[in-house]
Structure 1
Amino acid sequence: MMRYLFLAASLLFLSIGDGLAQNNTFKQELSVGASFGMNFSSISFAPKVNQKMKQGYQGGVTLRWITENHLGLQAELNYAQQGWEEEFEEQPEYQYSRTINYVELPFLTHIYFGGNRFKFFFNLGPKIGYALSESTVSNLNGAEPNRNNMQHDMPIEKKFDWGLCGGPGLELSTGIGHFLLEGRYYYALGDIYGSQKKDPFARSASQTIGVKFTYLFPIWR
């Protein structure tokens, strides 16, 4: 284990040193590309609904502008699956999950360190989305196994979604473009249902953990 940690630390220091040595040759760069990955999502319900992470997929197009050394801006247009899958510990024969399909627009600050070939980066910024459709998988057969079951028959009330997202990643630059592997966490600031006193839930916001692969091709330097 220590050997792998030492190797990772060595690569980090070498890439940072290489990046510092390249400060005088910095050039702005505009890149465009595509991404694809997986999401694991849930809904923060209040009152609580027992859940496990629901798997979904995401993909879209990415535009990145490196404006100065170690800093850039990134915008994306994605299609993403979110939602929730309920967990029935005492009655495993039951199943209920809801898939919500979103089109989303993250606007991110891109911070990076490293050399010309290998980079470590962190993206952070707001994201807005709109629910295009939803679908349900259920075999409850009329049963109500949870303390809270009203969500089973409630379609989404608020299709507009917004919140904050960010995460770390690794980038490999080659003669044919940039290859990025990134982890990302999303915390919604809005709810999918109404949250007034008359409503069943005081909170119903999405949380998503994802990993994706992105390919970017420079179109201007």
Structure 2
Amino acid sequence: MNKFLLPVLCAALMLSAAFTRLFAQSTPPVQPTQSMQEQYDKLHGNTNKKPASQPSKSKTTTKPSAVQTKPQTVQKRAPVPKATAAAEEDGLRFKIGLRGGANYSNYSVPSILSNSVPAPDPIPAYHGGLILSLGGKVFSIQPEILYSQVGSKLTTAIGQVTKSSQTTINTITVPVLLKFAFGGESFRFFVNGGGFGSYDLNVKTKDVLNGQTIKSERKFEKGDPRIEYGAVGGAGIALGLGGSGAQLLIEGRYYYGLGNDNNDLPNNNKSFVRNIQGSVGILIPLEGQ
């Protein structure tokens, strides 16, 4: 029986070895895990070796650079400063308004009569009319159409008789001014200067003699001299009225006559207006300008 078992055991061992070799060839080798690798490194002293996940970290470090370069390709326009925007909007604007106030006017004495005729006294009167303005916040041109009264008063004494004569001339006066202004939106100071022309409508006189008053009116006829021209200048302040751009104007001016259309008299026989004006007005910008 032992003789019979011995060959059987040998055959079984041979078959077991054959199956074991076949199974080893068909089964893939087992890869060490990260924990096994770390244990191996610790046992062999490889502490400086980078972990297997290090390449993935290098990938993540390259992503921010890509993200940083993306905004550089799409650049937004920087916002325009408020001061620059305001300067760009400060173009030519058309404004319209009204002004009115008081006159304190007089007439000059002809140079040929300066030694023999007393100087006339000024008289109070008034003016009012339309303002037009074209320009920016600093420089502008401002023509106006005004109804204005000018005149003078002359008092003479003959013996014990005193005579007072007051002359008032109603005119249409057109000043054309160059205006320079500076300051903020709520308060601006301005000066202006230019020329004017006036057209006489009629003349009213009032004579007082020995307590009696005599009034008269003279209308001009065709061919009568009735045009005067000269220089005008003044200064004032402009107060802003809210955010609409409207302005309240407070202004003083002086009109200095230089000539007229009376060709029958030489200049040394002519009288020219001298007028001080004080006025209040309003100036409003038109929309869409």
| TM-score, normalised by the number of residues in structure 1 | 0.74
Aligned position for 1:196 = 266
CA distance, structure 1, for counterparts of residue 156 and residue 251 of structure 2:
32
Shift of 1:95: 1.9
After superposition, residues 97-136 of structure 1 pair within 5 angstroms as 97-136=166-205
CA distance in structure 2 between the aligned counterparts of 1:128 and 1:191, rounded to whole angstroms: 9
Distance 1:96 1:87 in 2: 6
**Map 1:50-199 → 2, pairs under 5 A:** 50-66=119-135, 68-88=136-156, 94-140=163-209, 158-175=225-242, 177-191=246-260, 194-196=264-266
Q: In structure 2, the residue corresponding to 1:52 is in which secondary structure?
A: coil
Give the CA deviation at 1:117. Answer: 1.2
The alignment yields a C-alpha RMSD, in angstroms, of: 3.0
**8 Å CA contact 2:109, 2:119 repeated in 1:** no
DSSP 3-state at the match of 1:30: strand
Structure 1 residues 67-124: Cα deviation after superposition (integer angstroms, max 9, x where no partner): x451001010100000111145897953211000000111110110111110000111
Query: What is aligned with 2:104?
Result: 40
State which structure, 1 or 2, has the greater radius of gyration over its C-alpha atoms.
Answer: 2
1:158: Cα distance to partner? 2.2
Structure 2 counterpart of 1:127, which letter?
A: F
| Higher normalized strand content (fraction of residues) | 1
Please report how far the alpha carbon of residue 125 of structure 1 lies from its aligned counterpart in structure 2 after TM superposition: 0.6
After TM superposition, what 4+ stretches of structure 1 lie above 4 angstroms from structure 2?
A: 22-25, 88-93, 154-157, 191-194
Distance in 1 separating the partners of 2:233 and 2:199: 19
Q: How far, CA to CA, are the matches of 2:239 and 2:157 in structure 1? A: 43
Note the alpha carbon deviations across 1:159-217, whole angstroms, 9 max, x for none: 001111010001001135210011000011114864339xxx62311110110111111
Q: Which residue, out of 10, 18, 26, partners 2:90?
A: 26
Given residue 196 of structure 1, which amino acid in structure 2 is its aligned partner? P
Which residue of 2 is the match for residue 215 of structure 1?
Answer: 282
Partner AA of 1:204 in structure 2: S
* Letter in structure 1 aligned against 2:248: F
Gaps of 5+ in 1: 1-18, 142-153
Q: Is the 8 A contact 1:30 1:218 kept in 2?
A: yes
User: 1:23, 1:69 within 8 Å by CA — same for their partners in 2?
Assistant: no
Within 2, Cα distance between the matches of 1:134 and 1:32? 30
Structure richer in helix, relative to its length: 2
Residue pair 1:101, 1:134 contacting (<8 A) in 2 also? yes
Instruction: Give the total of aligned pairs.
Output: 187
Ranges in structure 2 where 5+ consecutive residues have no aligned partner: 1-82, 211-217
Task: Give the Cα separation in 2 of the matches to 1:74 and 1:92.
Answer: 49
Do the aligned partners of 1:123 and 1:167 also contact (CA within 8 Å) in 2?
A: yes
Q: Which has the higher contact order (CA 8 A, sep 6+)?
A: 1
Task: Summarize the Cα distance change of 1:168–1:89 in structure 2 as closer, same or farther, 3 Å threshold.
Answer: farther
